[in-house]
Amino acid sequence: MKVGLPSHEFKALSQSQLKLVWQWRNSPRIQQNMHNDQPVEWQDHCRWFEKLACDTSRQFFILWQNKQPIGVLNFSDLHTSTPEWGCYLGETNVWLGNGHYFRVGGVGFCRYSSALY
């Protein structure tokens, strides 16, 4: 039985979550909604992460609920006048209403980053 409200926080994607995000990304439920709906090989995923570390136009975050990673929030084209953002829940056994946290996190990040660029 779930008691009380869950805690939520966003943390930057790190090496320790790389395998989990790869598994989420390749799950049919998420894969079918991606720009590229083809499976991603592990080596390609690792190269993507290495490039991400040097790419200031993109940011990836993990949404944590009750200290468990549950989804991804990402931003691209940050140095343009039309940045894009996306999100997905990797886990399915989570509290309802996580879309709200993605929206709040997305708006908050955009407000913060607009002051930077």
For residue range 33-68, what is the model confidence (pLDDT) as tens digits? 888 889 999 999 999 999 999 999 999 999 999 999
- Tens of pLDDT, residue by residue over 14-30, are 999 999 999 999 999 99
pLDDT, residue 98, reads 74
Residue 61 in domain: yes
Q: How confident is the model at residue 4 (pLDDT cuts 50, 70, 90)?
A: confident
Residue 17 in domain: yes
Residue 114 in domain: no
Above pLDDT 90, what percent of the chain? 56
The alpha-helical segments, DSSP class H, found in the chain are 18-25, 28-31, 42-52, 98-116
Lowest mean pLDDT among 34-38, 42-46, 84-88, 110-114: 110-114
> Which of residues 79 and 50 earns the better pLDDT score?
50
Task: Provide the number of structural domains found in the chain.
Answer: 1
pLDDT, residue 117, reads 47
Residue 2 in domain: no
Residue 110 in domain: no
Residue with tokens 């955009």: 110
Residue 108 in domain: no
The range of the structural domain enclosing residue 90 comes to 8-32+39-98
Residue 105 in domain: no
Name all contacts of 92-98 with Cβ < 8 Å and 24+ positions apart.
92/29, 94/65, 94/70, 95/2, 95/5, 95/6, 95/65, 98/8, 98/63, 98/65, 98/70, 98/71
The overall average pLDDT reported for the chain is: 86
What CATH number did the domain enclosing 82 receive? 3.40.630.30
**How far apart (Å, rounded) are the C-alpha atoms in residues 18 and 78?**
22
